[in-house]
Amino acid sequence: MTSVKNTDILTDIVIVGAGPAGLSAACALEGSGLKITLIEPQSKDSLADPKIDGREIALSHFSKSFLEEYGIWQKFDPKNIHLLKEAKIATGEEPFALGFERSDDSELPLGFLVSNHVIRKGLYKKASELENVTILTDHKVCSVHSKNDAAVVTLDSKEIIECKLLIVADSRFSVTRRMLGIGAKMKDFGRVMLVCRMEHETPHYSVAMEHFKYGKTCAILPLQKGVSSFVLTVPAAKSYEVTQLDEKGFNIFAEDIMNGSLGKMKLISERFSYPLIGVYSDKFTAQRAALIGDAAVGMHPVTAHGYNLGVKSAVTLSNLIKSAVKNGQDIGSFWLLQKYQLSHRVEAKPIYEGTNAVVNLFTNDNPAAKLLRRAALNISNHFTPFKKHVVSKLTQIK
């Protein structure tokens, strides 16, 4: 690679963002022989031992095999892995409107639930042990520009890094995406997702339940015996009322919204809230740059595909990179990036649009939408293609 004047670091690949997607890409490039530099504003300590953030990630079988391939899954404490056998959706009008279950007679579960901080910790440990990977913590990217043969990144420390390929993984609100001149369609659902852990009397039988109920949505994700993650979605303007409830008030609120189906419920963790904004980037590539993870597609969490899609993007891109290295080709070529973009758009678009359509249909409470919802549910198998798509995305390994 030709060096530019004032370059402080020369590397093959820069990954912006050491979140789940960026770290997954670094792990997936193990054995490529490429020098990789990750840039992350958080400190080394917060990456090595991430704080609990309330997110319980439903992992697909593909993500599980990815984590197994790099020896990360095997290091999870089995107590932190929870089976997801089935998922059911109920509405204000229909007790079980939609069910997601395996239809292939397999004994295997639909997916696995593992806390986000456990996944991040495992990924960081693996990436930080790789000889070809350098993680620059406490650093932000200030500017990027690309030319025919290299991308050039300037850090807040004024250091300049030159690389053959820039991988952008700095979240759905990616600043680097904007620096590259890539726009994105954002869908603000006007809602907030509140997550916490709750103990409950009635067993969950490893079944996730989602209740869409007149403006509010709540879901139960089954964890250990008698404990579930309680996921509540409320209009942003109402979120304050719920977050301000004291513990006793919150327990009663949860029992009520679950129609008592879990018996007595008790809050056993902090409550965390997240704004619900879906993001779909106009392009997944620019000259010598590729977007992965939420920087490419930021999903509504209801169908549990955000990190799973992030793993797919990291694996698709790294396979193309590894094959280019093997064939002595340029790892940042236009053609490689086009192949990545095409493949990941085909993967992501249906699930992104399908998820948004389901959320809109189930959360809109005007009379016309209620009629449409009932009609949609009554038309036999109206949702079958989407259902099958969601289930197959969770269960397929390749």
Ligand X SMILES: Cc1cc2nc3c(=O)[nH]c(=O)nc-3n(C[C@H](O)[C@H](O)[C@H](O)COP(=O)(O)OP(=O)(O)OC[C@H]3O[C@@H](n4cnc5c(N)ncnc54)[C@H](O)[C@@H]3O)c2cc1C
- CB of 339 closer than 8 Å to CB of 317: no
Among residues 43, 47, 39, 50, the alpha carbon closest in space to that of 140 is found at: 39
Closer to ligand X by Cβ: residue 19 or 278 = 19
Pairing status of strand 56-59 against strand 98-100: unpaired
Closer to ligand X by Cβ: residue 363 or 377 = 363
Among residues 278, 19, 270, the alpha carbon closest in space to that of 167 is found at: 19
Among residues 108, 102, 127, the alpha carbon closest in space to that of 29 is found at: 127
- CB of 58 closer than 8 Å to CB of 84: yes
Among residues 318, 291, 302, the alpha carbon closest in space to that of 66 is found at: 318
Q: Does 16 bind ligand X (CB under 6 A)?
A: yes
Farthest CA pair distance, the chain: 68
Instruction: Tell me how far apart the alpha carbons of residues 255 and 262 are, in angstroms, rounded to a whole number.
Output: 7
Binding mask 73-112 for ligand X (x = CB under 6 A): ----------------------------------------
One DSSP character per residue, 65-85 reads HHHHHTT-GGGS-GGG-EEE-
- Least Å from the CB of residue 217 to ligand X: 12
Closer to ligand X by Cβ: residue 150 or 297 = 297
As to burial, measured by CB atoms within 10 angstroms (0-12 exposed, 13-18 middle, 19+ buried), residue 107 is exposed
- Least Å from the CB of residue 266 to ligand X: 21
Q: Does 55 bind ligand X (CB under 6 A)?
A: yes
Closer to ligand X by Cβ: residue 117 or 374 = 117
Binding mask 306-345 for ligand X (x = CB under 6 A): xxx-x-----------------------------------
Taking CB atoms, the residue at the shortest distance from ligand X is 19
Closer to ligand X by Cβ: residue 97 or 302 = 302
Give residues 245-264 in contact with ligand X (rule: CB under 6 A).
Answer: none
Identify which range of 25-33, 81-89, 96-104, 289-297 contacts ligand X by CB under 6 A.
289-297
Instruction: Tell me how far apart the alpha carbons of residues 385 and 351 are, in angstroms, rounded to a whole number.
Output: 11
> Between the CA of residue 267 and those of 63, 114, 196, what are the distances in Å?
30, 19, 7
Among 117, 140, 266, 271, binds ligand X (CB under 6 A): 140
- Least Å from the CB of residue 357 to ligand X: 19
Q: Does 179 bind ligand X (CB under 6 A)?
A: no
Closer to ligand X by Cβ: residue 76 or 274 = 274
Instruction: Tell me how far apart the alpha carbons of residues 276 and 212 are, in angstroms, rounded to a whole number.
Output: 16
Give residues 194-253 in contact with ligand X (rule: CB under 6 A).
Answer: 195
Q: Does 134 bind ligand X (CB under 6 A)?
A: no
Instruction: Tell me how far apart the alpha carbons of residues 171 and 175 are, in angstroms, rounded to a whole number.
Output: 8
Identify which range of 200-208, 251-259, 297-305, 382-390 contacts ligand X by CB under 6 A.
297-305
Place of tokens 């993984």: 169
Q: Which two tokens stand for residue 28?
A: 């997936």
Identify which range of 14-22, 179-187, 328-336, 389-397 contacts ligand X by CB under 6 A.
14-22
> Interface residues with ligand X (CB under 6 A)?
16-22, 39-42, 55, 57-58, 116, 140-141, 169-171, 175, 193, 195, 274, 293-295, 301, 304-308, 310
